Every structure is written in C-alpha cells, then in structure tokens.
Amino acid sequence: GARDRALFEFMYATGARVSETTVLNLEDLDLEAGTAIVTGKGSKQRLVPLGGHAISAIAEYLPHRLELRTAGSDSGAVFLNHRGRRLSRQGIWGILKRHARHVDLDLVSPHVLRHSAATHMVQGGADLRTVQEMLGHASISTTQIYTRVTPEHLLEVYMTSHPRSR
C-alpha cells in the first residue's frame, strides 16, 4: 500500500538506516523543499534530499497515515503500524520480507536499500565525500565498503579517463 511504498522510497532515496527511519517525525520532512532531517548515530542530524519518487510516495501516504492514527498513538511519527504506533525496526523488516516473498527475492534486508542507494549514487557519478555526508558516516572508509565498482563501470571509466586506453 501507500505506506510501504513511501517507506521504501524514503529509505532508498535517502540511504537512511532502519533506526533513522523509525525515529523520523513529520516535522523532519519538508516536502516542498524536497528534504528531510535524519537523526543518526549519536543523535547527529543531517539534511538529506528526498527526490521526486520519495516526495510523491510520501505525499500520497500522508492522508492514509491520518486514518492509521489513534487516540494513544505517537502522532509525530511519519511511519505508523496498523495500530497507529510508530513503526519499529522489526516492523520494517517484516514489511520488507513480506514484499520480497511476493516477488521471490531472497537475502533482502532494509540495509540492502541503504547499500543500493550508495552504490547507485557512486555509479551515477557521485563522489565518495558526498555519499559519506548523505549516509552520515564518520569515516570515508565506511562509505567505501558500500561502493563496489562493477567491472562494466571500471572499464567505462578506464576507457574515458586513461590516456593509454585507446
């Protein structure tokens, strides 16, 4: 449904950790500016872009979110479970596993969305420092773990940048 799409689009667009996604509040979103404030490890906050797909998915989900909210719910949380409470880490895992089963995917975890976001940004030409900032890594060596270079990309970069490639 709308919540799950918004959840996955947010996590992929921002590269947010599961723990960062569970603590996301409505006040952290600025859909007009296309940004979110993500609270990471050590309560460090960072501003991340959302991108068009995530903005659309979240905007579509928010009216449904009001229906999920109940009297005793955590009214500030962006992502709510069917009882109107803040989605937990386990809740996000369960949602992802359920969707993965429908499309016959194995070895899927919320961390795969983070890894994919980083890898796709690097493959698209982003520099490691920018990806490091977006993911909230203290050390660039951590960011390098996420960024496997495909053989195709290596060959393409070699052919366009090495003076002896021709």
Annotated active-site residue 101? The verdict is: no
- What's the predicted TM-score (pTM) here? 0.84
In a domain, 43, yes or no: yes
In a domain, 13, yes or no: yes
In a domain, 101, yes or no: yes
User: What is the model's pLDDT at position 71?
Assistant: 58
Coil/strand/helix, residue 140 = helix
In a domain, 166, yes or no: no
CA–CA gap between residue 37 and residue 110 (Å, rounded):
19
41, 89, 129, 148: which is the annotated catalytic residue? 41
User: What is the model's pLDDT at position 74?
Assistant: 63
In a domain, 42, yes or no: yes
In a domain, 92, yes or no: yes
Q: In what order do the strands lie in the sheet with 35-39?
A: 29-30, 35-39, 45-49
Low-confidence ranges of the chain (pLDDT < 50): none
Asked whether 29 and 39 are in contact (CB, 8 A), the reply is: no
- Domain range holding 119? 2-161
Q: What is the CATH number of the domain that holds 19?
A: 1.10.443.10
User: What is the model's pLDDT at position 73?
Assistant: 65
In a domain, 37, yes or no: yes
Annotated active-site residue 61? The verdict is: no
Domain count, the chain: 1
Annotated active-site residue 41? The verdict is: yes
